[in-house]
Structure 1
Amino acid sequence: MADDAFDFRPGAQVPLSGSAGQTAATFALASAAYRDSPVEAILDANSEWHQSKVSPGQKWASIFKPNLGEAFARAVQLRMLGGGRGALIQSFGTEPQVVVEHCLAANRIRKERDSWLTAVMVLTGLIFLPGLLLWLLVFQIRRSVAKAEDKRAGVLATTILIGVGGLAVLFLLKMPFSGFWAWYARAAIVAPVLGWVWAKQICERTARDLRERWSSLLAGGGIGAKIPEAVPGSPGETAAERLRQGLARLSAEQQSNSVFYAGPKGILGMGTRWGTWQLAEDLVSADSSKEIHPFRSWDVIRSIHDQLRMLERGPLNTGGFPAPSIKHWVVTPINENAGSVSRPGGTDVDAYQVKTHKIQEICNKQQFGSGDRHYLGVQWTLWDGQLIITMLITVTVLHETLRIEVTGHALGPVHSLFTSGPAAKTKTVPKTVRFWETKTQKLPLVDADEVVRLAVRAPFTWYPPILDHLGGKLTLPEPFGLRHAWAAKPWRHRFMADDALRAATPVLRVVHAAAIRVLNDNGVDTTKFAGRSSALSGAVQEVSPRKADLYDA
């Protein structure tokens, strides 16, 4: 349960670019909740290690299939706030609470639309059920035929709809019976059509609202997420209180100092290890007549930590490094194909934070064999959250050998799927007179089939598992974190790659200088350490990214 220190304040928490600098990635991911693209589009964003899946529904019920926004918003809400949810991976470079809030807001907008559509279905469909079922059967046949690869399928589908419409008109004019049932039969044919017209206006209005929010987020987030259901109005509102606590727990877990190493996948949330540099030499006394002063790994780490704070300063006023985030991490090893993770617990953990005394104990004692390991991390969030550069430092002492290891991790931008804006729906048709020329014709945001799909789904939204069973759903990759699940490689972007490579040299030199200072203060002969440091300092200038987590053995 989240601690009071991480309590949730209602309303969209907009990240400040001056402090966090992570608005672009956050709003790009949040925009997926408002999209009306086919749900299969998200499969294009799958990476080598993390893959979403679209679970198919019933073949005969394709009309219940969700679009990308509906499936994404529901999947993220359940995974991030659902009861009994598993541990989440931190989303470095984003504010996951903002993304979840927009998913809640999108679901709320659709819920209001579905309430109106349900009323339309009752008034013009349920009361005239035979006619509704007939029209739904026609649309389902047309939908199935239109999916065929044959180019003539579209013409055949339209012909079927026109043919049934003609038969309906003929049935209205020459009714085979009279009296009450004759008028009811006429109404059963006409009422669903009138309901469709009414429903189309409702769907168009909502579609415009969702698209405005989609484009606004990609433009900078002008429209905030409204989630009044997360603000308890009285002590008895348990649902609102659970939602409030869920958002607070999400924010607390985002600040956790515990991460997971998944073999070739690297550290989840930080990306794979692209470079590693190791300085390992024997601890020999500088004065043969004296022994070295006793010290521990934590003493070296603490000195490195203090010196890393000076990275943003330099002798020249040339910009240089922005202020990095410097943090002690507890790294837990997990299986490469692990389907879930479990965070450390017990008295040594408070609000997902491993306490300092436990971190110090891990740093000094857990250097060989099983168990968690300690790393000191310096992290930059760049390109509005699109690039995460993390340099991790660990110090180990085995027998008389001191080893200082620096590793580089990089997490690239979110997939371009999430940064694409809404495109106007158009089609190219030949001109009436000059038939050899073409013109672009603007189409409505919601076509006939989409109106039917939304209207049919609406009455079932009160119990979403029915829709999941009939139409399918989106399954998120596990262990799940919003940021790393859809991250691309940074090496395809020249400037991003340069930033990652350039950070290695100054960090490595600061780490070595701080460590050698501690060794000198404790009477250690640093001649070999200085020589090895100089060699590494030269080698790092020729650095190039590689798959350091894949051992060729």
Structure 2
Amino acid sequence: MALDAAGLEFDFGAQVPLAGMSGGTGLGHAIASVAYRDTAPEEIKKPNDAATVKKGRFSLLEPDLGEAWTRAVETRMLAGDRKPLIQSFGLEPGVVVEHALNAKRIRRQRDRQLTAIMVAFGLLFLPGVAIWLGLFQLRRTIAGSQDRRAGVLGMLVLGLLAVLIAVAVIRAPLDGVLRIYVWSMLPAPVIGWFLAQQICERTARNLRTHWSNLLGGGDAGARIPEAVQQNPNDAEAERIRLGLAKLAAEQGSNMTYYAGPKGILGMGVRWGSWQLAEELRPRDPGREIDPFRSWDVARAIGDQLRLLERGPLHTGGFTKPSITHWVVRHVGEGAGEVSRPEGPNADGYSFSNIEVQRICNEQQYDKGDRHYVGVQFVLWEGELVVTMMISVTVLHHTLRIEVTGYTLGPVDGFFREKPADKTREVRDPIRPWKKVKRPRPLVEVSEVVRLAARAPLTWFPKRLDAWGGTIAFPEPFGLRHVWATTPWKHRFMVDDVLRTATPVLRVAHAAAFKVLAENGVDTSAFDSRSQALGGAVQAPSPTKADEYNM
């Protein structure tokens, strides 16, 4: 048994996490690729400008995108006291977390080597290192952390300052061993830099290989040996194991959240709604209808929806749908976080079946959570999520069956960007009137200095966050919905969305009418209304259904 920060109890048994075996899709790999990128952290605002980049005290210690992403994923998704997450339909969040941990492991190996170099060539020659770091920090301050050019005036100032320092060191009034030490104070860090550059270049190529493989369908497995316990007191492995297990449990939650015009978080905006509402009248004169509950109708609809993939003809048809009885909670458009299920009938991150039935039967009016039967199709390798939600309510003598459609589009193209080769233009030695492109190192001089300066501090992540900076994800956070774009510009995706509505509507109505007929209800009015809706739904027009044109 284990308790999370909120006091929820879990029994995960003796499971051992197997790295890279979470069954992630191509979409999950695309999002996971950010962990291996070496671009500017501000790029995280491309897919969603609600993401924030917090600057640290020293630009020399700022992280690149991969480092900042890895840190943000770990703290947001594995921390024991984290806020609840939104389900990520269409991908497995564990895959993204595993690759973040794998990227962290690769960088940690590099940082160990850089730290050893810093001790050998930095600590022993600390005054020289301080001078070099001061010059690089001054250059970054003049040029800006991402602009690699300091300008003519800035370079003149830096050059003059470097000459003055060199002259002062050479002409220092010292003799013997101390003189040799002072003279070696400036070149020793350069030797250390050369060794560090080899390590950084090798690691950069390794990270870019993972980045390319994730987007190209190659060997994209993540290795996280630190997640396997080496002894009973291995706290880090236990933290990762428990965090991944909690993440999987939360992904399987049957609770979701309605955020006003944003639709259902994780499912997208509501684009269409079809309502059938008729009076419950007995079929036989002089006889009352047999008592039944909303849950009886909702359960019958859910059972019939499982047969959507079957048909009378041998065609492609529907893929296997996911059927869930959802508990939906309203949180509002500007909500910064969501809440977990609570109360005696909450089971971890989900509501118990008894509580779901109670909500379906009793909470149809006034405040409280609501019940929906959801049928969901994950299409286009996770790029398109189509969800149809059905609610059944009975007020006085009127039974209402409402079918609504929600769609979550593809993620931003930013996640599909492959690593670009770094090149420079030089004059051809044979044909000097022409310029040719030559490959240049993946890690520039200033980048080696940045990595070497950060390396010893990676063992103190909170301090490094304050000094170097961090990124924060949009809230309420889920790996899928915060990066989604609209599907309405893709012809075939639009077709798939619109074609889903008609068969789902007819199956829901047929299943409901069967329950009504079995309980002595006159279904003639329901049949007439259903036929009218069946005609209208054949040409659905997507609208912003939650804005009501107001």
Report the TM range for the smaller structure's normalisation: over 0.9
Deviations 1:459-511 (A, max 9, x none): 11111122211221001111111111211111122222221111111111111
- Amino acid paired to 1:470: W
Correspondence for 1:187 among 184, 187, 195 = 184
How far is the alpha carbon of 1:35 from its aligned partner?
Answer: 0.6
- Amino acid paired to 2:84: A
Contact 2:309 2:320 in 1 (8 A): yes
- Amino acid paired to 1:56: K
Identify the residue that residue 28 of structure 1 maps to in structure 2. 30
- Amino acid paired to 1:10: P
Identify the residue that residue 376 of structure 1 maps to in structure 2. 373
- Matching of residue 38 in structure 1 with residue 70 in structure 2: no
Identify the residue that residue 513 of structure 1 maps to in structure 2. 510
Identity %: 56
Cα distance in 2 for partners of 1:497, 1:486 equals 19
How far is the alpha carbon of 1:192 from its aligned partner?
Answer: 0.9
Deviations 1:51-94 (A, max 9, x none): 21101222xx1111111100001011011111211211111111
Distance change (3 Å), C-alpha of 1:448 and 1:370 = same
Cα distance in 1 for partners of 2:14, 2:334 equals 34
- Matching of residue 12 in structure 1 with residue 19 in structure 2: yes
How far is the alpha carbon of 1:248 from its aligned partner?
Answer: 0.9
Identify the residue that residue 340 of structure 1 maps to in structure 2. 337
SS in 2 for 1:428: strand
Cα distance in 2 for partners of 1:24, 1:515 equals 38
Unaligned 5+ runs, structure 2: 4-8
Contact 1:142 1:160 in 2 (8 A): no
Cα distance in 2 for partners of 1:254, 1:484 equals 13
Cα distance in 2 for partners of 1:151, 1:330 equals 52
Distance change (3 Å), C-alpha of 1:156 and 1:493 = farther
Identify the residue that residue 463 of structure 1 maps to in structure 2. 460
Identify the residue that residue 285 of structure 2 maps to in structure 1. 288
Identify the residue that residue 19 of structure 1 maps to in structure 2. none
Contact 1:96 1:482 in 2 (8 A): yes
Cα distance in 2 for partners of 1:484, 1:529 equals 37
Cα distance in 2 for partners of 1:151, 1:464 equals 26
Correspondence for 1:542 among 539, 542, 547 = 539
Identify the residue that residue 55 of structure 1 maps to in structure 2. 54
How far is the alpha carbon of 1:321 from its aligned partner?
Answer: 0.3
SS in 2 for 1:312: coil
- Amino acid paired to 1:223: A
Contact 1:6 1:249 in 2 (8 A): no
Cα distance in 2 for partners of 1:151, 1:204 equals 18
- Amino acid paired to 2:21: V
- Amino acid paired to 2:43: A
Identify the residue that residue 210 of structure 1 maps to in structure 2. 207
Contact 2:60 2:145 in 1 (8 A): no
Distance change (3 Å), C-alpha of 1:494 and 1:161 = farther
Contact 1:75 1:475 in 2 (8 A): yes
Cα distance in 2 for partners of 1:436, 1:494 equals 48
Contact 2:389 2:403 in 1 (8 A): yes
User: Where in structure 2 are the equivalents of 1:254-293 lying within 5 Å?
Assistant: 254-293=251-290
Contact 1:24 1:386 in 2 (8 A): no
Contact 1:52 1:477 in 2 (8 A): yes
Distance change (3 Å), C-alpha of 1:13 and 1:140 = closer
SS in 2 for 1:535: helix
Identify the residue that residue 472 of structure 2 maps to in structure 1. 475
SS in 2 for 1:259: strand
How far is the alpha carbon of 1:119 from its aligned partner?
Answer: 1.2
SS in 2 for 1:378: strand
How far is the alpha carbon of 1:349 from its aligned partner?
Answer: 2.2
- Amino acid paired to 2:387: T
Of residues 420-429 and 150-159 in structure 1, the stretch that sits farther from structure 2 once superposed is 150-159
Of residues 121-130 and 311-320 in structure 1, the stretch that sits farther from structure 2 once superposed is 121-130
User: Where in structure 2 are the equivalents of 1:227-376 lying within 5 Å?
Assistant: 227-376=224-373
How far is the alpha carbon of 1:346 from its aligned partner?
Answer: 3.1
Correspondence for 1:71 among 54, 68, 72 = 68
Of residues 223-232 and 27-36 in structure 1, the stretch that sits farther from structure 2 once superposed is 223-232
- Amino acid paired to 2:278: E
SS in 1 for 2:377: strand
How far is the alpha carbon of 1:156 from its aligned partner?
Answer: 4.8
Of residues 392-401 and 215-224 in structure 1, the stretch that sits farther from structure 2 once superposed is 215-224
The root-mean-square deviation of aligned C-alpha atoms, in Å, is 2.2
How far is the alpha carbon of 1:207 from its aligned partner?
Answer: 0.6
Deviations 1:14-69 (A, max 9, x none): 354xxxxx61111011111111010000101106xxx21101222xx111111110
Cα distance in 2 for partners of 1:490, 1:186 equals 65
Cα distance in 2 for partners of 1:506, 1:121 equals 66
Deviations 1:154-183 (A, max 9, x none): 455555565566556656765554333321
Identify the residue that residue 103 of structure 1 maps to in structure 2. 100
Contact 2:270 2:545 in 1 (8 A): yes
Contact 1:64 1:471 in 2 (8 A): yes
Identify the residue that residue 77 of structure 2 maps to in structure 1. 80
Distance change (3 Å), C-alpha of 1:368 and 1:515 = same
Identify the residue that residue 6 of structure 2 maps to in structure 1. none
Of residues 216-225 and 372-381 in structure 1, the stretch that sits farther from structure 2 once superposed is 216-225
Cα distance in 2 for partners of 1:410, 1:221 equals 30
How far is the alpha carbon of 1:291 from its aligned partner?
Answer: 1.7
How far is the alpha carbon of 1:210 from its aligned partner?
Answer: 0.7
Of residues 459-468 and 323-332 in structure 1, the stretch that sits farther from structure 2 once superposed is 459-468
Cα distance in 1 for partners of 2:417, 2:250 equals 29
Contact 2:59 2:145 in 1 (8 A): no
Distance change (3 Å), C-alpha of 1:312 and 1:112 = same
- Amino acid paired to 2:55: P
Identify the residue that residue 496 of structure 1 maps to in structure 2. 493
Cα distance in 2 for partners of 1:338, 1:114 equals 39
User: Where in structure 2 are the equivalents of 1:403-422 lying within 5 Å?
Assistant: 403-422=400-419
The two structures have a TM-score, normalised by structure 2, of: 0.94
Contact 1:143 1:157 in 2 (8 A): no
Distance change (3 Å), C-alpha of 1:551 and 1:7 = farther
Contact 1:139 1:161 in 2 (8 A): no
- Amino acid paired to 2:342: G
Deviations 1:79-126 (A, max 9, x none): 111121121111111111111111111111111111111111111112
- Amino acid paired to 1:9: V
How far is the alpha carbon of 1:336 from its aligned partner?
Answer: 2.1
How far is the alpha carbon of 1:185 from its aligned partner?
Answer: 1.4
Contact 1:109 1:206 in 2 (8 A): yes
How far is the alpha carbon of 1:4 from its aligned partner?
Answer: 3.4
What is the total number of aligned residue pairs between the two structures?
543
Identify the residue that residue 438 of structure 1 maps to in structure 2. 435
